[in-house]
Amino acid sequence: MTARERWLAMLDGRPIDRVPCDYWGTGEITARLIADLQCQNEPEMWNALGIDKCIFLAPPHPEATETTWHMPSLFSVWHIDTIKIPYLDGEGYYDEAANPPLGPFTSVSDLDGFPWPKADEWDFSGYREQCLAWKDHPIVGASYEPFYLYCRLRGMDRALEDLVMFPEFVDAVMERIYEVHADLARRALEIAGDLVTFIYVAEDLGTQRSLLMSPTVFRQRVKPWLKKMIDLAHSYGARVFHHDDGAIRPVLPDLVEIGIDVLNPVQWKCKGMEREGLASDFGSKVVFHGGIDNQDTLPFGTPEDVSRQVRENIGIFRGGKGYVVASCHNLQINTPTANVEAMYRAVHEYGRFD
């Protein structure tokens, strides 16, 4: 089976030859893996490891300074500055938002003067050809993280205060964010809907121990906007890939209710996110994606530890709607190549159905 066939069969509840697997990694570790495995490029590395890579595609924006596919992270398009923050003594870097452009705003009327991006600015002219080039893979065709982007536009502290103190401002900004991304998603699905498997509808709602906001505030201020995009995606026949870090157990019933199809990254060491409970309560409703711990096991364990965890996860999640083996979020540069190889080798050893 091709990667696309394997993913689609799993999503449809049809037989598959083995559990699918995916790859998420930072640029630093991807470059090292390509070199260590003596590959010429990233697709060759995926093939060498037997990865069923889900491809993230998006049309370019001519004024974006970033090269990422991930439209909510095109901070330059939304007039958000970024700074590089090093980790592991400078072995790797993340781009973090700075100087939030909506930070000084004090009223909803101030929003009229902000230069909001428009969907017309993105170049869809070669989008279908982009998708056809990856026709043997599942494709994520558009992305949307409304409150995540709100926090970068407003500043994290002020964004969290706004949820309680300035809710009308939150709603007004979230409406504008939705309008841009809904228009982009419609265009992607109308141009290449038969090739697009997923729309990425995500957030970052959890810390290691709790939610960033109460479930009540989530239901009032964030959930309706997620539901609107999920409904739009489903109306075109696309599935919804939902990413949400951390301890999000209190709102998982809400996310399932509004129709997420895949849940990533399954950080099961966070409070309330135990694997067995997730499988029991939600396994018949969503596909789990991720679940291989990259805070402890992948960077600091042995290849045997990694292999054991893959085997455990397959056993726990196998009886439900589906499971895609991948790291809990991006692999970092401090993960040994041997552990990455062990993760994917274990998929092919323990994940077969024949």
Q: Is there a contact between 141 and 8 (Cβ–Cβ < 8 Å)?
A: no
Q: pLDDT tens for residues 81-129?
A: 999 999 888 888 888 999 999 999 999 999 999 999 999 999 999 999 9
What is the rounded CA–CA span in Å between residue 354 and residue 344? 18
Candidates 3.40.50.720, 3.20.20.210, 3.20.20.70, 3.40.190.10; correct CATH number of 3-350? 3.20.20.210
Indicate the average pLDDT of the chain. Answer: 96
User: pLDDT at position 226, please?
Assistant: 98
User: pLDDT at position 93, please?
Assistant: 87
Q: Is there a contact between 140 and 240 (Cβ–Cβ < 8 Å)?
A: no
Q: pLDDT tens for residues 222-275?
A: 999 999 999 999 999 999 999 999 999 999 999 999 999 999 999 999 999 999
What is the rounded CA–CA span in Å between residue 134 and residue 55? 7
For the chain, the domains span 3-350
pTM summary value: 0.96
Of the chain, the percentage scoring pLDDT greater than 90 comes to 92
What is the rounded CA–CA span in Å between residue 343 and residue 324? 12
Q: pLDDT tens for residues 261-304?
A: 999 999 999 999 999 999 999 999 999 999 999 999 999 999 99
Q: Can you tell me whether residue 133 is helix, strand or coil?
A: coil
Whether 328 has a pLDDT exceeding 70, the answer reads yes
Q: Can you tell me whether residue 282 is helix, strand or coil?
A: helix
Q: pLDDT tens for residues 52-67?
A: 999 999 898 999 988 7
